[in-house]
Each structure stands twice: as structure tokens, then as C-alpha cells.
Amino acid sequence: MQPTSSSSSDAEGAYLCLQGLSKVYATDGGPVPALDQVSVRARRGEFLSVLGPSGCGKSTLLMIAAGLVRPSSGAVSIGGELVTGPRTDIGIVFQNPVLLEWRTALGNVMLQAEAKKLERTAANGRARELLGAVGLRGFEDKYPHELSGGMRQRVSLCRALIHNPNQLLMDEPFGALDALTRDQLGLDLQQIWSERRMTVLFVTHSVPEAVFLSDRIMVMTPRPGRVDRMIDIELPRPRTLAMREMPEFARYIHEILDLFLARGILREH
């Protein structure tokens, strides 16, 4: 929790720095390596995706970045402060919405405000504003079981944003949603990001989703996860659904799929 200053990263405009991260899990079947020497820097306000097959340790990477899991070796800094415990000034969206069933949509967003001891009336207004921005106006007083999967994940996104974090960590947030909802949430996320310009670390296993949303993609190898290739996505912003038909878009997809084929992650019989 105690921030330690290390300003070298800021000089290069990097906000999120992952330095030589390795993680080995101890299991009954012996040690299992999850991450192997992963280093990456995200610029302030950059949308960086981590793309890889399941089991490549990308979720572990995100948990380490959040300070929720300790790396076996290596270090993380956010905004020049070394991460040594759970970071509370960031926003996290998990794969599941992780909503409290006994709280309404608004109540779930306000949980973050209660944790941060934000002034109640102002936070309430902001929570309603955020819920409205993701299309949940009129659903503030609904309980999670009355909301669809996509709506729940939107609530979870609002909860991650109410304290205006500079760093957003997202762990396959749209992985459990249907294709249409997924597209819509991608567009919503892009809109929110373009307004606030927080640094985003976005873990996904969907190639088109990563290309559509990102400034840069870190492609990972199968377990143990290493950085395979960094790919700059130079598509104009804001990205539109029609851009997915563009040859440049297809080229990025191809590059990544070829990489997956070469690594044996995908196999064309």
C-alpha cells in the first residue's frame, strides 16, 4: 500500500510499468509456471490489450498489476508508485460482474463510493450519471437478478469508474456476453475511454475485440505466458463497426491469427 516513488517511468510517459513479472503457482502436482519474464509499459491514457489463449496467465498478469496477487519475481508500478499491495485508486472490472445480490444497481455502484468515503450526495449524482451513460437510466433501483448479463457488466463498469481512476484494469469483461451485447459494450467502453482518457489494461482472448479497441496489443504465448509480439493498431479513432470490414483491420487480424497458427494455438488440420 505504501507508495514508493520511482520517477524513471514517468520520464518516458509510461504510466503502467510491468517489469520482469514471473509467477509460479504451487500446486499438488508440483510447481506450475504461469508467467515468465513479462515486461511491458503502457503510456498514460493508452488502451493496451493483452491477448492470448486461455491459461496463458493473462488474468494472473492483471491480478498482479492490481496488487491482488504477488508476483514470484518482478515489479509493477502505476503512475510512478510501486505496487506492493492492493491498489485502491484504480478501477477493476472482473470477468463476472461480481455484484452484491442484496444491493440495487445504484447501491452496487455506490459501494465503491462508500469504500472511498466520497461525499454521498455528489457520489449519488455521479453514479446515476454513469448508469445513464451506459444506458441504464431507469434501472437504478433494480436488483442484479432483474438485469441481463450485459446490464450487470455495465453496472460493474460504472462501479469501477465512479472514483475517476486513472488506471482501469479489465479482465475479459465481455467474455461471457453474446456477440451483439459485446459489440455494444465495446462501443460504450470506447466512448467512456475517449472522454476520460484513463490508461486501460484490457485482457481478452477475442482477436477482433482486441484490434477494435486497442492502441496496442500485447500478444502472449501459451503457458507459461511470455510476451510474443507487440502490435501497434494504427486505425483512426473513433473506431466504428464498419471499420471491421476494412482491409487494415483484416490485416491485423491475420497477423495475429498467423502468429497463433505458428505457435500451435490454432491448427488448420
Q: Which residues bind other proteins (CB under 8 A)?
A: 63, 66-68, 86-88, 90, 92, 94, 96, 98, 100-102, 111-112, 114-116, 143, 145
Please, what is the minimum distance in Å from the beta carbon of residue 101 to other proteins?
Answer: 5
Q: Are 169 and 18 contacting, i.e. CB atoms less than 8 angstroms apart?
A: no
CB atoms within 10 A of CB 26: 9
Please, what is the minimum distance in Å from the beta carbon of residue 95 to other proteins?
Answer: 8
Please, what is the minimum distance in Å from the beta carbon of residue 114 to other proteins?
Answer: 7
68 or 235: CB nearest other proteins: 68
**Measured between alpha carbons, how far is residue 254 from residues 86, 183, 209, 214, 225 in Å?**
37, 20, 14, 16, 21
For residue 7, give every residue at least 6 positions away whose Cβ sits within 8 Å of its Cβ, in sequence order, or none: 80
If you count them, how many residues does the chain have?
269
Distance CA 239, CA 212 (A): 7
For residue 59, give every residue at least 6 positions away whose Cβ sits within 8 Å of its Cβ, in sequence order, or none: 95, 171, 172, 203
70 or 254: CB nearest other proteins: 70
* For residue 247, cis peptide bond before it (omega within 30 degrees of 0): no
The DSSP symbol for 69 reads S
Please, what is the minimum distance in Å from the beta carbon of residue 92 to other proteins?
Answer: 5
16 or 233: CB nearest other proteins: 16
Question: Taking CA 240 as the corner, what is the angle to CA 195 and CA 61, rounded to the nearest 5 degrees?
Answer: 65
115 or 122: CB nearest other proteins: 115
Please, what is the minimum distance in Å from the beta carbon of residue 130 to other proteins?
Answer: 16
Please, what is the minimum distance in Å from the beta carbon of residue 182 to other proteins?
Answer: 20
146, amino acid identity: E
Please, what is the minimum distance in Å from the beta carbon of residue 25 to other proteins?
Answer: 14
Q: Is 159 helix (H, G, I), strand (E, B) or coil?
A: helix
Distance CA 162, CA 230 (A): 31
48 or 92: CB nearest other proteins: 92
Chain position carrying cell 505457435: 263
101 or 268: CB nearest other proteins: 101
Distance CA 78, CA 5 (A): 10
Chain position carrying cell 433501483: 141
36 or 171: CB nearest other proteins: 171
